[in-house]
Structure 1
Amino acid sequence: MNIEKVKKQINNFREHGWTSLDFRNCGITHIPAELFENPNIVFLDFGNDLGIDIKYQNKINEIPNEIGQIKRLAKLNLENNEVIKISDELATLNRLKYLNLKNNKLKQLPEKVANMEQLDVLEISGNPFDILPPEIASQGIDSIRNFFRELKDPDYLYEVKLLVVGEGRVGKTSLSKALIDENYSLEDETSTEGINIAKWNVPQEVAVKYNPEIKRDLLINIWDFGGQEIYHSTHQFFLTKRSLYLLVTESRKEDSHDDFFYWLNIIKMLGDKSPVLMVLNKCDQPVKELPIKEYQNNFDNIKDFDKISLVGLEPHKSNLKAFRDKVIQKATNLPHIGNPLPKVWVDIRREIEELKSNGKNFIPLADFELLCSRYYLSEERADFLSDFFHDLGVFLHFKNDLILKQVIFLNHEWVTKGVYKILDDPIVIENRGIFTDKDIERIWKDSEHKPKTVELIALMKNTKFDLCFKVGSNKYLVPRLLPVDQIDYLWDKDQTTAKFEYRYKFMPKGILTRLIVKLNEDIFENNYWRYGVKLNHENTFALVREYYFENKITISLIGDSVKEYLYILRKNIASIHKDYNELEFKEMVPCSCSYCEKSKKPHFFEFKVLKKYEVSGKSNIVCDESVEDVDVNLLLSNYGKELSKRKLVVCENLNAEILNSLGFLNLDFLPEKDSFTVFGRVLSDSQIIGIRDKDFILDSEKKAIESENPNYCILNYYCIENYLYHPDNIEELQLQGFDKESYIEDIKKYKNEKILVIAQKLDKARSTFYELKIHGEKYRDEKNSTKILEKLRSDNFFDFYEFLNMKDYRKNYLGKFNLNQDCLSSTKWFKDSIENLLIRKVKVNI
């Protein structure tokens, strides 16, 4: 346990009244009871970083009833814990706007929690829910609420996806046909191009033998994947969770261990915990032995290993029947079989299948919305269903793509065959992946794909596939068809200023080619081949190389903005990694000791290890090569230290509570006693943002201070109350009997009554501003200071209001409306005003 961090946070809570507390990576097992004593706490973070040492992992397993006592709680983060139970009292927190429960052990989600009106963000993916489909859980709060609403009338979808994978020419297609047809006779099958999809209907009287809960026929959709390596480009987007896998080889084929480990790893990363049946086909011929125990020791989702033959003779015929029964048994007992779905979704699903059966390969989005409207689903609810069907693999709909959003591809097989007509074209292959508009016309001239040329090319370019990019007005390039041999390029190793590496336990094929597509605009003078690319961005060069057989990707950088461009590279690689489940890799940074800086083969530290040192408060780490002490902070700052998910914003004491209540997802507002302390924190740490009241600071002074301190923000009005009591903010509340002009007149009256008092303390107040005191003429614009009083004497609202202290406003006119701070800070106008101020002045991403 990180006792010191826990003590510090509790101390800040008790002695300083902090309302935003960070217990991340502290190794605690329950929410500290002391916290329930203060209803004013706004933000609690009990999350864990992935990969953190076990002794620092929080293992909270319950959100207790006492959580309801923290009435002002706006944000609660418990990601990567062990929560199995949520108290219904959580739903009584009517200010809670952000709740993160990702990667816990929840089987049930209280519907009343999902339906909390003020909750803006609900993160619950990665939990083993009994009813809530993972595809819905990952789509966000609106989709979750919609699911609960639709589930009032449930039905059951008895449908399974069976994925048949393996290298080419091992009999996958023949086996697929033999499963469907018990009387299938072995014949010479053509090699599968892309994907073949077939339906296997298992009668209810057969399926019920293995699962008595099944109430109708079981539909097994068999996806037969082509084995050639180029087809792996799209396979990875159709290998899904909650499926059954057959990994097929044949007795004659001399598959290497690498082939099996490739497929088993791909299934593990894309299929998650989906069961795998390994199959040795053509066992009537001389049989090779496979180290099945070794595979099972490494992949616990391998459920069995069978040897079969399709020759139709005994005992092979009996073995095949037994294997067929085993497939049915495994399929009928997949965890999602029998889970309820909204009946209307099941009905629409059946209509979509009927469209496919009638030869429809795609439909306009408008047709899908019309279909949904016949079942009384609004356009918004149809949109949620589209997301679910896309994630489930019912159809393809890329609604965030400007070109693709208006079309729904019903037939995956049709899509992939169209794509591979281009990828398999001899002329395109000979041209090393280059194809033109004329090539597209030639390839699809007499094809059923011609009417959707624009959409299919857009799909190939889509960030989900990253198959190609445009290289001219009418040319495209497929990086996976580039030459494998390294080209000649210029790179000065002695001038390299930063290196970074990804080292994988298993590296999926195509990571670098997808990166080339994503960053194609940065490619420097066509310097690329299948396993490398040279990039240029704002006078910064990067050389990125893939060493497939060494399971690593290396990055070398030179230039003016090395750290910034490395962040861009890491961000794009991370987006590719997200497509894989539990992809195991290490981020490595080179040592900067005196020996390693001169060495051609420096020692590399694992980034995660450096983070552990940072969390533990250890400032130095020993280089294995030189045995020198190396500064951990220097290593992290120079080589892509991870940007925090949240930014720390220090502000004057009472403002923190108000600003935290707005629920900005990555901003934590912490109170300091005055503006002097806020500015001191900003000067001492460039990673901290400071925000203070404007008071009597001139706009010219504000501009000078902020330009030299980009992490410092000064309000546009005297204080935060000027925003709360601004006439535009009050107007948004739509109070009955409120008249904006009368309200402004009341503020003007208050100002005129206070003008002499303000004039008397103006100079003295300005002399206390720390920013103006320590930098003197650098910031101070004394010659224009008289303009403050001139503006205050004006009766023009827009002149005087920025310097009027609304903390002391009597609120005579507003008294009859009985307004409180919670009400005033709940408006869109107030939130937008603060958000725009921070974005514009501090350039943070809210």
Structure 2
Amino acid sequence: MTNEELLQIIEQADKEKVTELDLSNKQLSSLPPEISQLYNLSELDLSNNQLSSLPPEIGQLSNLTALYLNENQLSSLPPEISQLSNLSELDLSNNQLSSLPPEISQLYNLTALYLNENQLSSLPPEIRQLSNLRRLYLHANQLSSLPPEISQLSNLTRLYLDHNQLSSLPPEICRLSNLTRLYLDHNQLSSLPPEICQLSNLILLYLYNNPLTSPPPEIIGQGTHAILAYLQEKLEDSQRQWVSKLLVVGEGGVGKTSLLRALRGEEFDTQESTTHGIEIKSLALTHPAKPDVTMQLNTWDFGGQEIYHATHQFFLTNRSLFLLAWNARLGFEQGKLYYWLDTIKALAPESPILLVATHIDERDADLPLKELRDKYPQIVEHCKISSKISLGIEELRQAIAETAAQLPLMGEIWPTTWLNAANAIRSRPEKYITPQQLGKIMAESGVADISQEVLARWLHELGEILYFQDNEELNDTVILKPQWVTQYISKVLESEEVINKFGIFTRQEMDKLWQDLAPSMRDHFLRLMERFDLSYRTLENRDISLIVERLPLDPPNYEQQWQQIKAKANCHEISMKFKLNTIPAGIPTWFIARQHRFTTNTHWRNGALLAYEQEHLALVEAVKGDRYIKLTVRGANPLNFFVLLRDGIEVTLSRFPGLNIQRTIPCLGHHGEPCTHEFDYHQLSKRWEKKKATIECPEAIEDVSVAELLYGLNFHTQNAVLERIDELETKVVDKQATILNEIKNLRELSQREFTNFFRREQAKIDSHCPNIFVLRPRGGKSWQKAIAGQKIDLQLYCQAPGCWHPLQTGGLYEIDEPAKWLRATAPYIGKLFKVLRFAAPIIGPWLGVVDPKEYEAIYKNNLELFKELAEKLPEIQDAADLELADKIARGEDLDPERADGAALRALRQLLEEKDPQQHWGGLKKVLTPEGHYLWLCEHHAAEYKR
């Protein structure tokens, strides 16, 4: 639109009657002064233009209540903007503002101010005068600090500060007493002022991607409630704790225990016995820069024999100091330094490492140190010692002190009550206590009731105790000495009977090895081994366990069974390789233990043959020489089983945060002939995101469809999966078994991947809650013309993949403000219905349904009503969101950050208001072996109990 055209509109307008003017997306580069003639304007939309400045005359539009200037090129604002005294909403997002004029503070009636995605490096102190402001959007700027005056915005409920450069927050922020949500993601915060705990109405605090050490990551990981509890106790009183972990690793027999004895000033023992499992003691060192401070290092001496390595992985934690010992007399190759360095890098990529050559009284320590440091930057120093003659011990002690002083946990500020409780727990002589006893110890140390669960989780995460609060089979006992557990597990790993029987562990052998344990503790230890994926009870006989680390190294003869399924008609195959820089202990044995419900009793140390409903076989192999894991699934409809097992492998690999992983998918072949090329999964995903339809196969020099390669393997291909179900359902006339089986598998896949994807979205915004439901008019008959004006019920569903069903009792909530709530949740509802419409009215005994036909009719009616609602969403959306609503109606994918985040938060808020005790119809939050969190009814939750 030209200025002339705009002037013509202004001249022809009825100046008294024009109250709203939409000039968005008109390619305006300037605004004529004559705009001031429209003196009755209450809403002016100038978004998505090319405005670089505003005329001073804009200040004469004194009746404006809403002004939209987002997505322009404004670098400054005229002082006259202060004359818009009736303005309640001002959108300046997506411009080039580097500062704000002080005059903006005169907009006293502003309730919403959008300044996000500009170039602001500071805020004027005058911002405090915007006393009616409820929402302030400052994300995606260049703010490095906030003025203390921001605390005077007493009506503020939401403050968006994410994606800035904030390194600290003013303590005065605690005066924002009405604040409910504070967004601080993607900043440079290393600590939070404890005063934040005084924000009594704060519901959600977002802190992702900050280098925070206070609160520590273990507290942040527990969510807003835990953070506020920690800060509350810290505000009352706090102390520094000079304690951390020193982990000593290396091959068996290199002298790790003797090394620690020498560091503690103890005499050399020529008869030192081999360490079985883990031994934990203490080492006191003076802080190198603070002579009055004594650091306490808890030394973890790990048995070096290979069979222990899988059990050690759970205690080799990040943010600790590692001593990697090797025997100079035998050489670094014999000490497997590369293996150990790869393992430490995979498990604890941020932890410093001191290499320690032992026995240097017998031979010089010859080591390619530069090469090792280039490959493993974690290496701080190479120390050379002889424990026998105390050579180099003092130098090693000094190196340990200097490195330990830099650890992120060293000198960490703890709430005094928490520190007192931790010390009291550490000094207890018992090896285990009850949760009630743990609570009593904390209470006696002054820990508030609300903080006890948080502190218990923190101590568990730090490895000081073992207490699985969310596991019904383990939460009746608190292990105070974790090393005690490994000693008893080591007895099983070393058992001659278990070794000779290739991992079979009977109850008779358990009673013999653990005879000094009470029967209840034997059961507890067995469940701990299962929790650590070291064993599982066989399906045929629950009194027999299989110890996966003692499976035979050679595979049994599985080829005939594996090839037979390939010979079946209509057999398809899917595979993926996981190429690793190293294969640590526990891979793939942990995976084999986790997936035991699919066992065919064909397994070995490096692989397994698994089955799903007798129709599909999967082969998992770890080829340690070539450092890769390969997963292959064969059958008529292998996709669902493949994705399930792939997710299980990903859970196993996620235990190694520093592991380098490349995932590859084989080429689909050309003209009916197979192809040996493997495509990089990450590259394929990037091509999909950039809407590249094909990729060239370098072997055949031919293009291959990216959509076909990624079909069903990536959540963003879900539309293709749903279209396939649509296509198949039109063919189900004669109820062909092959079509019905494919529908069943694709339905289960789409439902599981939907809940998995949105669970990740909920984790980002700290809004965990059930998220599968239908909406229906109260009374369940029909929708009125004005949907948003009638009463609506929300009915929660059990999320069992392939078996979604409504809860029979509970989980039903009335929505008080349908219009507002539907506008917020519309993007999510549209996606949910796309998947829910393929849910089948499966009727099982768990439903307690007397008349299946009546149930099926009600079920289908609910879906029909939900479908009507989904189709009417564009009518419900505000004018500003019509484009978004149209996309929903067309079933197009939307930006999850924009659409889904707000929707999921609105869902959580509704459920919390309606069900503050979080009963949620009896749904249980279950973590499946594949790492999926599902909200399940009691019947389906029981299926995942080991």
Q: Shorter chain as normaliser: what TM range? A: 0.5 to 0.7
Alpha-carbon distance in 1 for matches of 2:438, 2:201:
31
- Residue by residue over 1:680-713, the C-alpha shift from the partner in whole angstroms, topping out at 9 and shown as x without a partner, is xxxxxxxxx99999799966xxxxxxxxxxxxxx
- Residue by residue over 1:93-117, the C-alpha shift from the partner in whole angstroms, topping out at 9 and shown as x without a partner, is 9686585727x54213355667655
Query: Residue in 2 aligned with 1:354?
Result: 427
Counting only pairs closer than 5 Å after superposition, residues 97-246 of structure 1 correspond to structure 2 as 99=183, 101=185, 105-109=188-192, 120-124=203-207, 127-152=210-235, 153-181=237-265, 183-202=266-285, 207-208=286-287, 210-212=288-290, 215-246=292-323
CA contact (8 A) 2:230 2:451 kept: no
Alpha-carbon distance in 2 for matches of 1:363, 1:327:
34
Q: Does 1:394 align with 2:464?
A: yes
Note the residue ranges of structure 2 that are not aligned, 5 or more in a row. Answer: 1-23, 29-44, 50-65, 72-91, 105-109, 119-138, 723-757, 764-771, 795-813, 815-833, 835-871, 877-904, 924-932, 936-946
- Residue by residue over 1:208-262, the C-alpha shift from the partner in whole angstroms, topping out at 9 and shown as x without a partner, is 4x121x6553222111100111111111111112221110000222443892122
Counterpart of 1:218 in 2: which secondary structure?
strand
Query: Residue in 1 aligned with 2:351?
Result: 274
Counterpart of 1:267 in 2: which secondary structure?
helix
Query: Residue in 1 aligned with 2:413?
Result: 340
CA contact (8 A) 2:174 2:199 kept: no
Counterpart of 1:491 in 2: which secondary structure?
helix
Query: Residue in 2 aligned with 1:263?
Result: 340
Q: Does 1:602 align with 2:676?
A: yes
CA contact (8 A) 2:258 2:268 kept: no
Aligned with residue 525 of structure 2, among 452, 456, 459: 456
Alpha-carbon distance in 1 for matches of 2:784, 2:115:
26
* Structure with more of its chain in helix, by fraction: 1
Counterpart of 2:453 in 1: which secondary structure?
helix
CA apart distance, 1:441: 0.6
Q: Does 1:518 align with 2:591?
A: no
CA apart distance, 1:401: 1.6
CA apart distance, 1:554: 0.9
Counterpart of 1:497 in 2: which secondary structure?
strand
CA contact (8 A) 2:318 2:351 kept: yes
Residue type at the aligned position of 2:351: S
Query: Residue in 2 aligned with 1:817?
Result: none
User: Does the C-alpha gap of structure 1 residues 644 and 227 become closer, same or farther in structure 2, counting only changes over 3 Å?
Assistant: farther
Q: Does 1:587 align with 2:668?
A: no
Residue type at the aligned position of 1:161: K
Query: Residue in 2 aligned with 1:722?
Result: 790
Aligned with residue 386 of structure 2, among 297, 306, 309: 309
Counterpart of 1:517 in 2: which secondary structure?
helix
User: Does the C-alpha gap of structure 1 residues 393 and 427 become closer, same or farther in structure 2, counting only changes over 3 Å?
Assistant: same
Alpha-carbon distance in 2 for matches of 1:34, 1:693:
46
Alpha-carbon distance in 2 for matches of 1:529, 1:43:
60
Residue type at the aligned position of 1:106: L
Residue type at the aligned position of 1:554: K
CA apart distance, 1:824: 13
Q: Does 1:419 align with 2:489?
A: yes
Alpha-carbon distance in 2 for matches of 1:520, 1:322:
50
CA apart distance, 1:272: 3.1
- Residue by residue over 1:288-329, the C-alpha shift from the partner in whole angstroms, topping out at 9 and shown as x without a partner, is 5211111111111111102211232xxxx3522222232233
Aligned with residue 363 of structure 1, among 400, 409, 433: 433
User: Does the C-alpha gap of structure 1 residues 563 and 552 become closer, same or farther in structure 2, counting only changes over 3 Å?
Assistant: same
User: Does the C-alpha gap of structure 1 residues 452 and 845 become closer, same or farther in structure 2, counting only changes over 3 Å?
Assistant: closer
Residue type at the aligned position of 1:723: K
Alpha-carbon distance in 2 for matches of 1:824, 1:78:
22
CA contact (8 A) 1:225 1:235 kept: yes
CA contact (8 A) 2:185 2:207 kept: yes
CA contact (8 A) 1:123 1:138 kept: no
Q: Percent identity?
A: 25
Counterpart of 2:790 in 1: which secondary structure?
helix
CA apart distance, 1:154: 0.4
Alpha-carbon distance in 2 for matches of 1:824, 1:322:
59
Alpha-carbon distance in 1 for matches of 2:293, 2:457:
26
CA contact (8 A) 1:151 1:343 kept: yes
Query: Residue in 1 aligned with 2:731?
Result: none
Counterpart of 2:791 in 1: which secondary structure?
helix
User: Does the C-alpha gap of structure 1 residues 466 and 185 become closer, same or farther in structure 2, counting only changes over 3 Å?
Assistant: closer
CA contact (8 A) 1:394 1:410 kept: yes
Alpha-carbon distance in 2 for matches of 1:111, 1:724:
42
Query: Residue in 2 aligned with 1:812?
Result: none
Counterpart of 1:533 in 2: which secondary structure?
strand
Residue type at the aligned position of 1:167: E
CA apart distance, 1:511: 2.4
Alpha-carbon distance in 2 for matches of 1:143, 1:172:
38
CA contact (8 A) 2:776 2:793 kept: no
- Residue by residue over 1:49-75, the C-alpha shift from the partner in whole angstroms, topping out at 9 and shown as x without a partner, is xxxxxxxxx997659979999x99989
Query: Residue in 2 aligned with 1:529?
Result: 604
CA contact (8 A) 2:385 2:391 kept: no
Query: Residue in 1 aligned with 2:550?
Result: 481
Q: Comparing 430-439 with 58-67, which one deviates more in the overlay?
A: 58-67
Residue type at the aligned position of 2:329: R
CA contact (8 A) 1:248 1:281 kept: yes
User: Does the C-alpha gap of structure 1 residues 479 and 254 become closer, same or farther in structure 2, counting only changes over 3 Å?
Assistant: same
CA contact (8 A) 2:326 2:335 kept: no
Counterpart of 1:598 in 2: which secondary structure?
coil
CA apart distance, 1:664: 9.8
Alpha-carbon distance in 1 for matches of 2:397, 2:908:
64
CA contact (8 A) 2:707 2:717 kept: no
CA contact (8 A) 2:238 2:415 kept: yes
Alpha-carbon distance in 2 for matches of 1:581, 1:516:
20
User: Does the C-alpha gap of structure 1 residues 582 and 113 become closer, same or farther in structure 2, counting only changes over 3 Å?
Assistant: farther
CA contact (8 A) 1:695 1:719 kept: no
Counting only pairs closer than 5 Å after superposition, residues 610-649 of structure 1 correspond to structure 2 as 610-641=684-715
Counterpart of 1:549 in 2: which secondary structure?
coil
CA apart distance, 1:131: 2.6
Query: Residue in 1 aligned with 2:363?
Result: 286
Counterpart of 1:160 in 2: which secondary structure?
strand
CA contact (8 A) 1:498 1:639 kept: no
CA apart distance, 1:41: 10
User: Does the C-alpha gap of structure 1 residues 365 and 125 become closer, same or farther in structure 2, counting only changes over 3 Å?
Assistant: farther
Query: Residue in 2 aligned with 1:409?
Result: 479
Note the residue ranges of structure 1 that are not aligned, 5 or more in a row. Answer: 1-6, 23-29, 47-57, 649-662, 669-688, 700-714, 727-743, 745-770, 772-802, 808-821
The TM-score normalised by the length of structure 2 is: 0.60
Q: Comparing 34-43 with 434-443, which one deviates more in the overlay?
A: 34-43
